[in-house]
Amino acid sequence: MAAVLLIFSLGCVESPRYSVYYGRVELARQSLARLWGLSNDDCRVIKEVEFLQHDTTSRLAANKSSSSIVEPWKMLFGRKSNINRLLFLISAQLLSQWSGTNAITTYAPKFFALLNIAGHSEKLLKTAIFGVVKLVAATISALFFIDRIGRKRTLLSGITLQFLALLYVAIFITAWDAQGEPQSGNADRAAIAAVVAVYMTGIGYAFGWNSIQYLINAEMLPSSVRTLGTSFLMCIHYANRFALVKTLPSMMLDDALQPKGTFWFFFAVALIGLVWGLLWLPETSKRSLEETNKLIS
């Protein structure tokens, strides 16, 4: 996988903003034209590069006036608008991680055992398929959906699929426990459908939260605090991921939520995430970074 990433990275273009920052205006124009599929002398490319030059000049002037290493921290945590952006982005991290799909990925063999999948090899095979399904879905989402239909629509579509699949698994495990693992053709078919539903949670997560939670971190923070803010948010991201993975075994215990309660919890978080995306997430696709960081203030 590392080799594949290295090969594909050879075709990447340098960030136009980075090129402008170091005075390579013509390279920035070429890169932007390639990214947008336009000619170098297109008025939209020229206008955008001029805007980047103006923004870069302002940033350089600000850096010269204040070279203190604590200044970005003061700007990030001392301004109400930046705090509001941080709280909004932290809520996205909480909702994405605690919707459960990453925990299902980590403990996939145990979850498949709950769905009447017997045999160590068969559970491992279904776990491997689950990983492949998530990878393919994430790739399709990144290449064909996020920029074409927008971040918000992609996220809402993914969460809808995710929470419906979680709802089915929660109902299945609840009914399974109530009936004492019935042995019948209908029960076997319901178990197979539950396995498919687990795959659907992975597809929904890959289409929705898997990409959006990273994109909006970079898009909604001003350039002056973007590096610091994104680093801080990624610490929050992995702290939540670590906490979820460590908490899940305790959640599954008989004197805690139990498996059925755990899936109902994941369903509830996914449903809250759907409401969050529907009501509060602004559309950031096809907007400049200067425009997107003003959407939350």
Closest residue by Cα to residue 213 from 177, 176, 241? 241
Number of domains in the chain: 2
CA distance 210 to 203: 10
Q: Does residue 262 sit within a domain?
A: yes
Are 32 and 87 within one domain?
A: no
pTM of the full structure: 0.86
pLDDT in tens, 2-54: 998 899 888 888 889 889 988 899 999 999 999 888 998 899 999 989 988 88
Are 221 and 271 within one domain?
A: yes
Q: How many helices (H) and strands (E) does the chain have?
A: 15, 0
Contact 173, 193 (CB under 8 A): no
Local confidence band at 67 (pLDDT 50, 70, 90 cut-offs): low
Is pLDDT at 158 greater than 70 in this prediction? yes
Are 39 and 180 within one domain?
A: no
Q: Does residue 7 sit within a domain?
A: no
Percent of the chain with pLDDT over 90: 45
Contact 240, 97 (CB under 8 A): yes
pLDDT at 202: 92
Is pLDDT at 181 greater than 70 in this prediction? no
CB-based burial label for 93 (10 Å; 0-12, 13-18, 19+): buried
DSSP letter assigned to residue 237: H
Which residue, 38, 63, 88, sits at the end of a domain?
A: 63
Domain with 200 in it: what CATH number? 1.20.1250.20
Phi (first) and psi of residue 174, to 5 degrees:
-65, -45
CB-based burial label for 40 (10 Å; 0-12, 13-18, 19+): middle
CA distance 178 to 182: 10
**Residue 122 is which amino acid?**
E
Are 175 and 254 within one domain?
A: yes
pLDDT at 179: 66
Taken in order 158, 2, 105, 235, is the CA torsion positive or negative? Answer: negative
Cβ atoms within 10 Å, residue 39: 10
pLDDT in tens, 74-122: 889 999 999 999 999 999 999 999 999 888 888 888 888 877 776 667 7
Calculate the dihedral angle through the C-alpha atoms of 189, 191, 197, 202, rounding to the nearest 10 degrees: -130
Closest residue by Cα to residue 115 from 70, 59, 177, 159? 177
Percent of the chain with pLDDT over 70: 94
Are 52 and 110 within one domain?
A: no
CA distance 110 to 130: 13
Are 165 and 98 within one domain?
A: yes
Q: Does residue 3 sit within a domain?
A: no
Domain span at residue 55?
Answer: 13-63
Q: Does residue 163 sit within a domain?
A: yes
pLDDT in tens, 252-283: 988 899 989 999 999 999 999 999 999 999 98
Local confidence band at 66 (pLDDT 50, 70, 90 cut-offs): low
More confident residue, 187 or 104: 104
CA distance 262 to 196: 18
Token pair, residue 90, equals: 């932290």
Token pair, residue 294, equals: 């003003």
The mean of the pLDDT values for the chain is 87
Are 58 and 161 within one domain?
A: no
pLDDT, mean of residues 54-73: 74
CA distance 21 to 249: 49
Q: Does residue 74 sit within a domain?
A: no
